[in-house]
Structure 1
């Protein structure tokens, strides 16, 4: 492995694992905690979380890890190393963190943003959001974890 590859591949594993942890924590206990609140309170809290999620800490981690993952896979392929684990890692991360986020979680966030907490329609929207958003978020966590594992395999080869 080249010097750049020995830096990028472990960094890709760590970045993928970090996002898997963030997504997993949300599915595992944050969403459950919000779901235990009265519907209007839980929905309003999640609406506030969705606003703060668009700020640099999460966005930099999400897209920074994507860039590192692609660069790591590219350096492995260019260097003639065992490409399958690195390419699989980048694909899993991009599918989970970027594709699922854009195709599922962001549209659900927009639906929740338009909901009126405390109304019958708002409470119904919140109940659906909790179930569907958490399911897709768990998919994100699993795919990011798969990316981390794949990059770890690439690092030790």
Structure 2
């Protein structure tokens, strides 16, 4: 397993970078653009994104990188005396907590609530305003942790 760690670390760095880039785009301009739309259109657009994002490619990047991180955690602990083990463990933990876990615990429930609301209702407008602040805040967490994890994986390889 120790021999596979460099390859898995490269895969984790690429996966973290891809995921961080997607979340970076949402944090920096996609959500701002949706916020400029009338409430029903913003909700409809976000609901559409939430459906179309569920693709094998993106799910592999997000959750497949998480699976690789589980292997990297084991490898870092087993090979703790090896150079870069600290960075490997740090990157894997940061990615797992900041991306798959934050997504499942915070972002997905916010998306589910948005999908269940009538976009034309007063409740829809209130939920959309909350979504724009809370979802984006948690997306910032995902963005930063994916980028920090990628940096840790690169440090582990150096």
TM-score by length of 1: 0.92
1:1-157 equivalences in 2 (<5 Å):
3-79=3-79, 80-81=81-82, 82-156=84-158
* 2:68 counterpart SS class: helix
Query: CA offsets, 1:66-115, max 9 Å, x none?
Result: 12222234334434413211111000000111111111101101110111
Cα separation, 2, equivalents of 1:3 and 1:138: 34
Shift of 1:37: 0.8
What root-mean-square deviation, in Å, do the aligned CA atoms of Structure 1 and Structure 2 show?
1.6
Asked if 2 retains the 8 angstrom alpha-carbon contact of 1:19 and 1:62, the reply is yes
Query: CA offsets, 1:115-136, max 9 Å, x none?
Result: 1112221111111101110010
The worse-fitting range, judged by mean Cα deviation, of 115-124 and 26-35 is 115-124
Asked if 1 retains the 8 angstrom alpha-carbon contact of 2:23 and 2:139, the reply is yes
Asked if 2 retains the 8 angstrom alpha-carbon contact of 1:35 and 1:42, the reply is yes
Cα separation, 2, equivalents of 1:73 and 1:155: 15
Asked if 2 retains the 8 angstrom alpha-carbon contact of 1:4 and 1:75, the reply is no
Cα separation, 2, equivalents of 1:115 and 1:99: 24
